[in-house]
Amino acid sequence: MAIFTWDADNEGSLRAQGFEHVSYLPLATDSHRFRPDLPAGPEAWRADVSFVGDSMTRAVADSVVACRRFPWLTEHYTDVATAFVRSESRGVADVLAEEFPALYSTYAVLADPKDRLACESLITWEATRQYRWQCVSALAGHHSLIAGDVEGWRGAFQDAAHLNILPRLDYYEDLPRFYPLSRINLNCTSKQMKGAVNQRVFDVPACGGFVLTDNQPQLARLFELEREVLTYAEPAEIPERLASLLGDGALRRKISAAARRRIGAEHTYEHRIAELCRVMRASFGC
């Protein structure tokens, strides 16, 4: 058996479970769909800054319901999630053990793996919600668009007149035409991916857009920082980066073009399939 993971952080734990053939295979883009020569989307999609993604309101609410049998967690999950956001630890269990030992002792004796997963999901989704809302709050002062769950985002930013909220966009039909209409596409990675790089970092430049992303630990393995991708370390840095980048269209175009060249050379699905086949042949002689 061979296992391929898009998150290099998973390699060690998978090998520790006894899997011999484990390989890192990061995400990529479909260069046939995400390409810069597509017809432009509607003018209503044009913005200074945009963010595509859900508010996580429903995901958190559903997870609270799933964990209602664990009041020891549901009474404290927001605090645990806050600690998880700021921690460099990759796993929820590690943060519980380090910062909430009493909660960890209760979590650790859960016999059913599904119960542990439910607890970890609640913390992960709440951490993502907190982080995502912090990042989107930084769009204040700009003509901004959010595409996602309309009700959730309106509830999150009831008085944010600067934010225009669109319904969810279709990944295949809409996003390749949406991204180029934003001067800056903001990316803030879900906290279930503490180290990995998500899809948007590949998709946005591939279709001619510019992305400003959080500096994930694995990003430098895929792109040259400051030449092919620009980043922020924490949400507090976003306003300054936006102000600088919105006034420098030449830099945005230069970075986007460099990223697109790297993606075309190394980060398409054709490249990933070729690497998968190479590993399979090397591992099993097939």
pLDDT of residue 136 exceeding 70, the answer is: yes
Is the distance from CB of 129 to CB of 60 less than 8 angstroms?
yes
Domain membership of residue 11 (yes or no) is no
- Which range of residues forms the domain containing residue 180? 29-267
> Which whole number is the average pLDDT over 215-228?
97
**Burial (Cβ within 10 Å: 0-12, 13-18, ≥19) of residue 265:** exposed
Is the distance from CB of 169 to CB of 175 less than 8 angstroms?
yes
Confidence of residue 283 (pLDDT cuts 50, 70, 90): confident
What is the spatial distance between Cα 56 and Cα 60, in angstroms, rounded to a whole number?
6
Domain membership of residue 280 (yes or no) is no
pLDDT recorded at residue 158? 78
User: 104 CB contacts (<8 Å, ≥6 apart)?
Assistant: 93, 96, 97
Domain membership of residue 203 (yes or no) is yes
pLDDT recorded at residue 157? 87
Confidence of residue 285 (pLDDT cuts 50, 70, 90): confident
User: 213 CB contacts (<8 Å, ≥6 apart)?
Assistant: 186, 187, 188, 189, 200, 201, 219, 229, 230, 231, 232
CA 114 to each of CA 11, 89, 150, 163: distance values in angstroms, whole numbers, following the listed order: 22, 22, 31, 38
> Which whole number is the average pLDDT over 126-136?
97
Is the distance from CB of 34 to CB of 206 less than 8 angstroms?
yes
Domain membership of residue 16 (yes or no) is no
Domain membership of residue 17 (yes or no) is no
Instruction: Report how far Cα 76 is from the mean position of its chain's Cα atoms.
Output: 25
Domain membership of residue 240 (yes or no) is yes
Share of the chain above pLDDT 70, in %: 99
Domain membership of residue 82 (yes or no) is yes
Q: What is the count of structural domains for the chain? A: 1
Residue range 163-191, pLDDT digits in tens: 799 999 999 999 999 999 999 999 999 99
pLDDT recorded at residue 160? 66
Mean pLDDT over the full length of the chain: 95
Residue range 42-75, pLDDT digits in tens: 999 999 999 999 999 999 999 999 999 999 999 9
**Residue from 261, 237, 205 nearest 35 by CA:** 205
pTM for this entry: 0.94
What is the spatial distance between Cα 208 and Cα 253, in angstroms, rounded to a whole number?
8
Domain membership of residue 218 (yes or no) is yes
Tell me, what CATH number does 142's domain have? 3.40.50.2000
